Amino acid sequence: MKKYTVLGKQDTRSGFGAGLLELGRTNPNVVGLCADLTGSLKMDAFQKEFPERFFQVGIAEANMIGLAAGMTIGGKIPFTGTFANFSTGRVYDQIRQSVAYSNKNVKICASHAGLTLGEDGATHQILEDLGLMKMLPNFTVINPCDYNQTKAATLAIADHVGPVYLRFGRPKVPIFIPEDQKFEIGKALLLNEGNDVSIFATGHLVWQAIVAGEILATQGINAEIINIHTIKPIDNEAVINSVRKTGCAVSAEEHQINGGLGDSIAQVLARNCPAPLEYIGVNDSFGESGVPEQLMEKYGLSASHIVEAVKKVLARKAKSPKSGY
Amino acid sequence: MEIEELKKIASQTRRDIVRMVHAVQSGHPGGSLGCTEFFVALYHKILRYKTDFTMDGIGEDLFFLSNGHISPVWYSVLARAGFFEVKELATFRKIDSRLQGHPATAEHIEGVRVASGSLGQGLSVAVGAAQAKKLNQDSHLVYVLMGDGEQQEGQIWEAAMYAAHHKVDNLIATIDLNGQQIDGSTEKVMSLQNLAAKWKAFGWNVLEMNGNDIEEVIKTLILAKSLTGREQPIVIMMKTEMGFGVDFMMGSHHWHGIAPNDEQLAQALAQLPETLGDY
C-alpha cells in the first residue's frame, strides 16, 4: 500500500474559496454570486477583492440560477455559491431549463453536501444531489476529495466551457493530494495499485478508502484505490481496466446509494465487464443531527465499513463463475 | 418605418400565427395574437440588434421572452425581421425543427438566447444579462416580456426585489395583461390584485400602455428608454386582448392553447389581409 502523508487538515470549501480568489486575479470574466452564505462558502475573499464582480442575491436561489444563466450572455463565467441542498433540489427546474437545456457556462458550486454537514440535520444534509445533477444532459459533475483537489477543480472548471456542478463540504478533513497534482476533468486518479479488489471512491470517502486500504494491506488484501472526482462524465476506461484486473469492486460515496457514483460504476460494469459490486453509501434514508464522525459511523460510511464491504465482495468473487476477469 | 407599414407586418404576423398553429394542431394562438403589436413595434422600431446573430449579444439590445408559450408570434416576427428564412415557419413544432414548441437554444435558432416555457425564469435571466452588459460597459438595453398569469410564480418577485436593490436600470420589462390563463381569468384563478402597485412597492418605475395600439406601444417604449439609467428598473403594464385581431378568439381564455380547425382557420384568415406573402 502506497503511503499517504497527511499534509494538514482543511475544509474542502476553503479549497473552493482559494481557487475562486485565484480565478478572480487571473480571469476577468469570472463573477461570483451568493445567496446569503458568503462566509460559509468562503467567497468573502473574492467579494472583498472584486466587489464589482460579486453579486449578493439574498435568500433567493431560483433567481440566482437565472441571473447566472443571463450573465453568461455577455461572456461572463458565473460561479454560484450556496449549500448543496439549495444549489440543486430547490432550484432543479431553473437549472434544467435556464442552464442545462440552454447549455449555459454556469458553475454551480455547492458546499455543506452530505452527512458531514453535521448538527444542522437532514433538512440540510442533501444526499441526492449527485444523482439529480448527473441526470441533466450537458452537465459535468465533480466531487473533489480534499482541499488541494477542490482548489484545482475550481481552477479547472473555469476553463471548461459548459455547465458544471462542483460539490464540496464543511468539515476539516485530511489533505493528502499533492498541491501540484494536475486536475483533469473526467480522468480518474489512481491512488494505489492493487490486484484483489477495486475501490472507487469520491469526495470525503476517498480518505476513508485509503485508511481502509491500509487496514486491508495488513490482512494481505491488496486493494486498488481509484479516486473518481468526476462523477460525470465517468472515466469508463479507468473503471473497466481496473475491474478487468481485480474482478470485483466497491464504490464509496457520501450520497444515497440510489443514483450516486455506485450506480454509475454499476452501469459501466454491466455494459462492459459484469463483476460483483458492493456499495458504500446511505441506504435509502435521510440523515440526522450529530457530529460528522458519528454520522459517518452510524450510516455506514467509515473506513471499517469499506473493509467489510471489500471482504463481502471478495467472497462473492470467489463464488462467481466469472471470477478472475 | 411608417405606422401603416407596421400594421401590415402585424396583419401578416397574425396570419403566420394562426397558420403555424393550425398546421400542427397545437400551440398557443391567443397570447401570440394579443402581443403582435408589441413584437412588431419592438423589432421594427425599438431594438438595436444585429441579424448576424451571436449568443453573447455584445453591442446590441437583447430581448428575452419569459412566457415562452407565445413562441408563434416571436418566430414570425424574427423571421420577417430577417433572423432566419420565412419558409422555416412551416417547420414549427415538427420533428427536426429549430422552431420548438417553446423557444430553445439547442437547435441554434437565431434570436433566441435562453430556453423558456417553464414560467417565471425569464426575468432573472434578463436581469443577469443586463448586469453583464454593465460589466462589459455596453450601453445597450435588455428587454423582457412576461405573462400576467406568470406573475403567480415566486421567482418573478425574487428577481423584482433583486433588480431594484441592485439598481438594474438598463432593463425594460413588460407584462402582458390579458387577464387570462389556462383555467380561466386571472381574477378567478389567482387574483393579481393591484399589480402596478406591487411593482411600485418593489421599487420599479411603472408605466402603462394599451398593447394593441401600436402607436401607443411605440410611444411608451420610447418613453421607457428615456427613463433608463436612473438607478431604477422599468416595467410596463401592457393591457392586451387575448386573441386580438380574430373576432371569435377574443374575450375569453378559450384560445390560450388550442388550434383552429380548417373552417376556423379560413374564418380567421378572412379577417387578416395577406400583406407580405404567406410563408
Which has the closest alpha carbon to B148: B179, B123, B189? B179
Q: Given this model, what pLDDT does residue B251 score?
A: 84
**pLDDT level of residue B1 (50, 70, 90 thresholds):** confident
Residue B79 sits at φ, ψ, to 5 deg, of -65, -45
Which has the closest alpha carbon to A193: A253, A241, A145? A241
> Please, what is the average pLDDT of chain A?
97
Q: Identify the closest residue of chain B to A97 by CA–CA distance.
A: B115
How far is Cα B45 from Cα B39, in angstroms, rounded to an integer?
Answer: 10
Contact A70 B128 (CB under 8 A): yes
Taking only the tens place, the pLDDT of each residue in A208-258 is: 999 999 999 999 999 999 999 999 999 999 999 999 999 999 999 999 999
| CA distances, A46 to each of A32, A163, B80 (Å) | 8, 21, 46
Q: What's the total number of domains in chain B?
A: 1
**pLDDT level of residue B82 (50, 70, 90 thresholds):** very high
Quick check: B21 pLDDT over 90? yes
Type of residue at A139 = F
Residue B187 sits at φ, ψ, to 5 deg, of -60, -40
Q: What is the mean pLDDT of residues A116-123?
A: 96
Quick check: B197 pLDDT over 90? yes
Contact A256, A131 (CB under 8 A): yes
Contact B13, B213 (CB under 8 A): no
Contact A67 B128 (CB under 8 A): yes
How far is Cα A60 from Cα A70, in angstroms, rounded to an integer?
Answer: 16
Angle between helices B122-135 and B154-165 (to 10 degrees): 20
Angle between helices A147-159 and A12-26 (to 10 degrees): 40
Determine contact: A62 vs chain B, CB below 8 A.
yes
Contact B159 A57 (CB under 8 A): no
Domain residue spans of chain A: 10-174, 189-318
Quick check: B91 pLDDT over 80? yes
Contact B34, B241 (CB under 8 A): yes
**Which of B124, B157, B165 best tests the A interface by mutation, with the highest count of A CBs <10 A?**
B124
Q: What is the mean pLDDT of residues B7-11?
A: 97
Contact B242, B235 (CB under 8 A): no
Q: Residue B164's domain spans which residues?
A: 3-270
How far is Cα B95 from Cα A178, in angstroms, rounded to an integer?
Answer: 51
Evaluate if pTM is beyond 0.95.
yes
Q: Identify the CATH number of the domain in which residue B153 sits.
A: 3.40.50.970
Q: Residue B109: which region, alpha, beta or left (left: phi > 0; alpha: psi -120 to 50)? A: beta
Q: What is the mean pLDDT of residues A88-115?
A: 98
Contact A107, A161 (CB under 8 A): no
Task: Write out the CATH class of domain A189-318.
Answer: alpha beta
Quick check: A322 pLDDT over 80? no
The closest CB to that of A70, out of B104, B118, B124, belongs to B124
How far is Cα B206 from Cα B200, in angstroms, rounded to an integer?
Answer: 6
Contact map slice: A 33-52 vs B, CB within 8 A: 52
**pLDDT level of residue A142 (50, 70, 90 thresholds):** very high
Q: Identify the closest residue of chain A to B154 by CA–CA distance.
A: A62
ipTM above 0.90, yes or no: yes
Tell me what percent of the residues of chain B surpass a pLDDT of 70: 100
Sequence length of chain B is 279
Reported as type and span, the H/E element at residue A255 is strand A249-256
Determine contact: A104 vs chain B, CB below 8 A.
yes
The residue with greater pLDDT, A112 or B251, is: A112
What is the per-residue DSSP string for A203-248? Answer: TTHHHHHHHHHHHHHHTT--EEEEE--EEES--HHHHHHHHHHHS-
Q: What is the mean pLDDT of residues B53-61?
A: 97
**Which of B158, B166, B170 best tests the A interface by mutation, with the highest count of A CBs <10 A?**
B158
* Grid coordinates of A50: 472584486
Quick check: B167 pLDDT over 50? yes
**pLDDT level of residue A324 (50, 70, 90 thresholds):** very low
Contact A22, A49 (CB under 8 A): no
Type of residue at B278 = D
Determine contact: A78 vs chain B, CB below 8 A.
yes
Residue B45 sits at φ, ψ, to 5 deg, of -130, -25
Looking at domain A10-174, its CATH superfamily turns out to be Thiamin diphosphate (ThDP)-binding fold, Pyr/PP domains (3.40.50.970)
Contact B115 A101 (CB under 8 A): yes
Which chain A residues are Cβ-neighbours of B118 within 8 angstroms?
A: 93, 96-97
How far is Cα A108 from Cα A36, in angstroms, rounded to an integer?
Answer: 15
**Which of B125, B136, B139 best tests the A interface by mutation, with the highest count of A CBs <10 A?**
B125
Q: What is the mean pLDDT of residues B152-175?
A: 98
| Annotation says A224 is catalytic | no
A10-174 and A189-318 in the same fold = yes
Angle between helices A303-319 and A205-218 (to 10 degrees): 60
* Grid coordinates of B21: 398553429
Q: Given this model, what pLDDT does residue B252 score?
A: 86
Quick check: B200 pLDDT over 50? yes
How far is Cα B168 from Cα B165, in angstroms, rounded to an integer?
Answer: 8
Quick check: A291 pLDDT over 50? yes
Q: What is the mean pLDDT of residues A128-155?
A: 98
Which chain B residues are Cβ-neighbours of A68 within 8 angstroms?
A: 128
Cis bond before residue A233 (omega within 30° of 0): yes
Q: B144-174 burial, b if ≥16 CB within 10 A, otherwise e?
A: bbbbbbbbbbebbbbbbbbbbebebbbbbbb
Which chain A residues are Cβ-neighbours of B128 within 8 angstroms?
A: 66-73, 78
